[in-house]
Structure 1
Amino acid sequence: MVKHLLALLSVGGGLLLAGCHLKKEALGSAENPIKFHLVPSVDAKVLSDNSKILKDYLEKNTPYKFQITIPQSFVAVVESFGTQRADVAAINTYGYYMAHKAYGVEARLTVIRYGLATYQSEFLARSDSKIKTLKDLHGKKMAFVDPASMSGYLLPLKTLHDKKIEPKATVFAMNHDAVVTMIYQGQVDAGAAYYSPPQDGQIEDARRLVKLQYPDVEQKVKIIELSEPIPNDPIVFRKDIPEEMKEKISDTLLQFVATPEGKKAMDLMLGATNLKKSTDADYDTVREMLKTMVPEKK
């Protein structure tokens, strides 16, 4: 009986070793598609619907196959690079800081929003509240986006720290539209989300995300103050992807956002009206800022 068991284990082990030596399919093939991750910054259905448009365009205009996924958090995207479950990602600025530091992930494109390659955070409160300035946020309950969100947490947190303002309590809404909704509904006293300047008389900051649900959001939720500007979110690549592949995908994304359908899809997914080529050096100012916010572990 023992001999039979050993024989079976020997055969199984041989098959396992043989499987380990099977050649992995080339990246970009149907069997091993390029794994493109989108951060969950807006409603999941909006991301899902528009990611299909992006996937179709990429596959029609490159020789590669793609798998576009929406992980649960910014941190999940970063971790995916460490286990080679992500090849490309549209990621938030802080997520890029972590992914580059840990895994050498490379920024190749930066989001442009209405002509600007930088962005700011906005502090919001209900228009009928007594909150008029940042000082009034001291001791109040605030909503933020995500602990890894630059515009929805780290950047406004730095502003509060610099001005020695301490909220009484904080909650994480996990996306920008949820922050605005919590303020609108009076669940919190104030909150922070991304800011983009108005265009053609229409708001383009985080409040626009809930205008269909709350048409009077501009009247009910006001901007208290803005933070300092930092570089917009990047689109990043796993460091060991072939250079030719990085260039082809980057160029195709630039072509995509130049089309009417692509511009609309990128705006809905990333709040992006355009893209520009970039490098890691463009994010040095972010690293300098984060040194004071996220001290190095010794």
Structure 2
Amino acid sequence: MKCFILLISVFAIACTSKNEIGSKENPIQFALVPGQDAVVLLENGKILEKWISEQTGLHVKVQVPVNFIAVVEALGSKRVDVAVLNTFGYILAHDKYQAEAYLIGVNKDRSEYWGQIITKDPKIKSIQDLQGKKFAFVDPASTSGYVLPAKLLKDEKVKPGEIIFAGKHDSVVTMVYQGRVDAGAVYYAPPEDGVPQDARKLVLSQYPDVFEKVRTLKMTESIPSDPVVFRKDLPNEVRTKVITALKSFSSTPEGARALKELYLLTGFKDCTDKTYDPVRKVLLDLGKEAQDFVK
């Protein structure tokens, strides 16, 4: 009888160990918000995956869900444990599923970014010229590729004509470059050494003259950079280990290069949910709640 009880105990311990978050059988699911080419995200995500595993001793699996909302819903259903998420997506994940931001992206001491409206048409000289024009946004849950530009257009009392959601920033740039739309909305990042770093850079290899052909019509107001978000109920010990690993990711040349390729970031620093109150104000100014954009 004692042997039987002992065997049951050992079996229970073994099962608990196998199912423990961070084990080989139950790795930490780390999602990268799909703002650009999935191949680029996955290639550099593997470098991030390896770094976190080496630094924490935990098994990690990086994934790139199909869109922003898929990341939010996966955080709610515990199919994703950690995610680099766009700011608007975070507001939705926090309000709907109590996900929490603990880190914010940093780019050379800046923890903010902008949206911008871009065009190729020389006849479009101001925001007012977009009235009734064909316009491309990224995704209804994209902060720089929808929410901020939508507020800008509303403030300017401009209503585009046909609206297209292209899904990714590089897709919007491509549509504008090819003349398939009159203008579009994408993220903006300040130039480095005189070289533009905004969303047009994503298609530079396909269209070397994109910076000459496609120009910034107007920038939006700034908002806090993208956060690293943790699902509700993730064990504190696991969260702390992942946070520490992420803070040191850019300490190596390979990590620094991967982080820049992923999200034009140079590192991460601590933040809280209150850091993202300015995004909530933008939604308030639009007369919307986060959920309204995904109905």
TM-score, reference length from structure 1: 0.89
Verify: 1:267 aligned to 2:260, yes or no.
Answer: yes
Are the equivalent residues in 1 in contact too, given 2:68–2:85 (CA < 8 A)?
yes
Verify: 1:158 aligned to 2:151, yes or no.
Answer: yes
**CA distance in structure 2 between the partners assigned to 1:63 and 1:141 by the alignment:** 51
One of 248, 257, 280 as aligned partner of 1:255? 248
Verify: 1:90 aligned to 2:72, yes or no.
Answer: no
Residue 207 of structure 2 aligns to a residue whose secondary structure is: coil
How far does residue 155 in structure 1 lie from its aligned partner after superposition? 0.6
How far does residue 89 in structure 1 lie from its aligned partner after superposition? 0.3
Number of residue pairs matched by the alignment: 277
**After TM superposition, which residue ranges in structure 1, 4 or more long, deviate above 3 angstroms?**
none
Are the equivalent residues in 2 in contact too, given 1:35–1:66 (CA < 8 A)?
yes
TM-score, reference length from structure 2: 0.90
Aligned equivalent of 2:42: 48
**CA distance in structure 2 between the partners assigned to 1:113 and 1:157 by the alignment:** 25
Aligned equivalent of 1:143: 136
Residue 217 of structure 2 aligns to a residue whose secondary structure is: strand
> Which structure 2 residues correspond to residues 1-298 of structure 1 after superposition, within 5 A?
23=16, 25-126=19-120, 128-293=121-286, 295-296=288-289
**CA distance in structure 1 between the partners assigned to 2:139 and 2:193 by the alignment:** 30
**Taking every aligned residue pair, what percent have the same amino acid on both sides?**
48
Deviations 1:153-193 (A, max 9, x none): 01100010111100011111111111111111000000010
How far does residue 115 in structure 1 lie from its aligned partner after superposition? 2.8
How far does residue 294 in structure 1 lie from its aligned partner after superposition? 5.6
**CA distance in structure 2 between the partners assigned to 1:113 and 1:187 by the alignment:** 32
Residue type of the alignment partner of 1:91: L
Tell which structure's C-alpha radius of gyration is larger: 1
How far does residue 289 in structure 1 lie from its aligned partner after superposition? 1.7
**CA distance in structure 2 between the partners assigned to 1:122 and 1:260 by the alignment:** 30
Are the equivalent residues in 1 in contact too, given 2:76–2:231 (CA < 8 A)?
no
Gap runs ≥5 in structure 2:
1-14
Deviations 1:58-99 (A, max 9, x none): 111112101111110100011111211110000011110010
